[in-house]
């Protein structure tokens, strides 16, 4: 990458909290963030926002009369964006691009509107405009009073890292100097959970009986253990070497696979092999200190990514970790939360192990971290970041 890309701010709202100090404190303990909600006609393990974060979202909803009709996926992104832009020093009226996506979009609102239509035969006036995917970036532009391109997209679970790819492309082209990028997801709804159960990938582990209901990073598990979580996260990226950079994006990679099935991925995750090689093409593999894996907690998803890493790195495999054992899979927001973990490990120079896996010992300063994400259909993205 010829143009240096600086990450100048980051903000998230998730089951881990709503500020970096709280998030890091959560990462330092070995407790998961799962609770039980009655969804899809049964008690279900989920990773939901805590009370304080829910109050923040309630306040965002009340901050503008028009926000009362918006889905939580939009409000999560709004809450995170306000903080990130303030941290970066960007001001109202500034020119910067916005690319924030979601895998499912306004799923809760869509389900409610459709239920009402089935019951009454009538659709609400705002049913269509409040459930379109373009809601997220356009409402954030409205809230921040920014000028510049607004992009919303859905590329399933790699959505947030695709947003970073887009932002990097705009910055390198010279068509923009600053971009707000990320992902947001509010998937804790009956129909969304039912869809995951229909795929037979949702965790059936009783969390009151077992310590770890999501076994992401357990490569010997005999059942799928994915659990859904809700979250929104964004980062501010700028072209060049910014004096307030918290890290640099030094490599990006992407790839897709030929589909054999709607959710297919090859035995050795060819898409991940290609995306990682692209992101690392100017980097000595020995210099990569940590990989934050996508590892959703499914048998095939976890194992195929590991096989891809082994293929690419050979005997130089870095420290490996994931956060989905702790916060579940947040679909379109998952990649940006993995980036958050990477930034925090660099900032604190401390590797975060998965508690039920074999302990990996950190032997050097964490300077370079690779983040992976992949979605249904083998849409893989790898982002390499480096300590500022």
pLDDT tens-digit map of 167-223 = 999 999 999 999 999 999 999 999 999 999 999 999 999 887 889 999 999 999 999
Residue 211 in contact with residue 356, Cβ under 8 Å? yes
Q: What is the DSSP letter of 358?
A: P
Predicted TM-score (pTM) of this structure:
0.96
Q: Which of 336, 299, 297, 293 is nearest to 313 (CA)?
A: 293
160: left (phi over 0), alpha (psi -120 to 50) or beta: alpha
The strands making up 150-151's β-sheet, listed across from edge to edge, are 150-151, 97-101, 178-185, 231-239, 5-13, 247-255, 379-387, 368-375, 290-292, 319-321
Q: How would residue 378 be classed by pLDDT, with cut points 50, 70 and 90?
A: confident
Q: Which of 223, 235, 170 is nearest to 371 (CA)?
A: 235
Distances in Å between the alpha carbon of 107 and those of 81, 103, 181, 240, 252?
A: 21, 10, 21, 38, 30
Question: Phi-psi category of 386—alpha, beta or left, where left has phi over 0 and alpha has psi -120 to 50?
Answer: beta
Q: How many CB atoms lie within 10 A of CB 59?
A: 11
Please calculate the CA angle 134-376-262 and round it to the nearest 5 degrees: 115
Looking at the chain, the whole-number percentage of residues with pLDDT higher than 90 is 91
3-state SS string over 3-43?
CCEEEEEEEEEECCECCHHHHHHHHCCCCCCCEEEEECCEE
Query: What is the rounded distance in angstroms from the CA atom of residue 285 to the CA atom of residue 209?
Result: 41
Summarised one tens digit per residue, pLDDT across range 101-155 is 999 999 999 999 999 999 999 999 999 999 987 789 999 999 999 999 999 999 9
Residue 174: both structure tokens together: 């010279």
Task: Return the closest-CA partner of residue 331 out of 161, 172, 216.
Answer: 161
For residue 155, give the DSSP letter.
Answer: B
- 157 three-class SS: strand
Q: What is the pLDDT of residues 297-311, one digit of tens each?
A: 999 999 999 999 999
């Amino acid at each position: 990458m010829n143009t240096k890309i600086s990450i100048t701010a980051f903000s998230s709202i998730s089951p881990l909290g709503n500020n970096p100090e709280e998030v890091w404190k959560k990462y330092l303990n070995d407790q998961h963030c799962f609770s039980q909600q009655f969804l899809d006609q049964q008690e279900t393990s989920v990773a939901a926002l805590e009370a304080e974060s829910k109050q923040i979202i309630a306040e965002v909803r009340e901050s503008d009369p028009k926000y009362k009709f918006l889905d939580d996926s939009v409000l999560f992104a709004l809450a995170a964006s306000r903080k990130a832009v303030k941290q970066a020093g960007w001001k109202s009226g500034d020119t910067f691009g916005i690319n924030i996506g979601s895998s499912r979009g306004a799923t809760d609102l869509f389900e409610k509107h459709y239920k009402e239509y089935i019951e009454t035969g009538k659709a609400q006036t705002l049913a269509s405009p409040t459930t379109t995917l373009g809601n997220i970036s356009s409402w954030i532009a409205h809230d921040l009073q920014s000028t510049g391109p607004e992009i919303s997209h859905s590329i399933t679970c790699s959505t947030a890292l695709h947003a970073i790819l887009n932002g990097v492309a705009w910055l390198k082209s010279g068509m923009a100097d600053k971009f707000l990028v990320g992902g947001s997801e509010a998937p804790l709804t009956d129909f969304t959970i039912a869809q995951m159960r229909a795929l037979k990938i949702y965790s059936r582990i009783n969390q009151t009986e077992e310590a770890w209901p999501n076994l992401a990073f357990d490569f010997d598990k005999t059942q799928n253990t994915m659990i859904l979580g809700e979250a929104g996260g964004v980062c501010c990226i700028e072209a060049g070497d910014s004096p307030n950079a918290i890290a640099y994006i030094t490599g990006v990679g992407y790839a897709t696979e030929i589909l054999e099935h709607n959710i297919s991925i090859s035995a050795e995750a060819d898409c991940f092999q290609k995306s990682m090689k692209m992101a690392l093409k100017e980097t000595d593999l020995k210099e990569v200190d940590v990989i934050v894996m996508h590892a959703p907690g499914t048998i095939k998803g976890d194992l195929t990514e590991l096989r891809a890493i082994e293929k690419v790195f050979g005997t130089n495999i870095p420290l490996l970790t994931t956060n989905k054992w702790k916060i579940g899979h947040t679909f379109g927001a998952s990649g940006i939360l993995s980036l958050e973990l990477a930034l925090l490990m660099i900032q604190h120079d401390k590797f975060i192990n998965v508690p039920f896996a074999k302990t990996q010992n950190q032997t050097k300063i964490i300077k370079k971290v690779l983040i992976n994400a992949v979605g249904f259909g083998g849409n893989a993205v790898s982002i390499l970041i480096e300590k500022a």
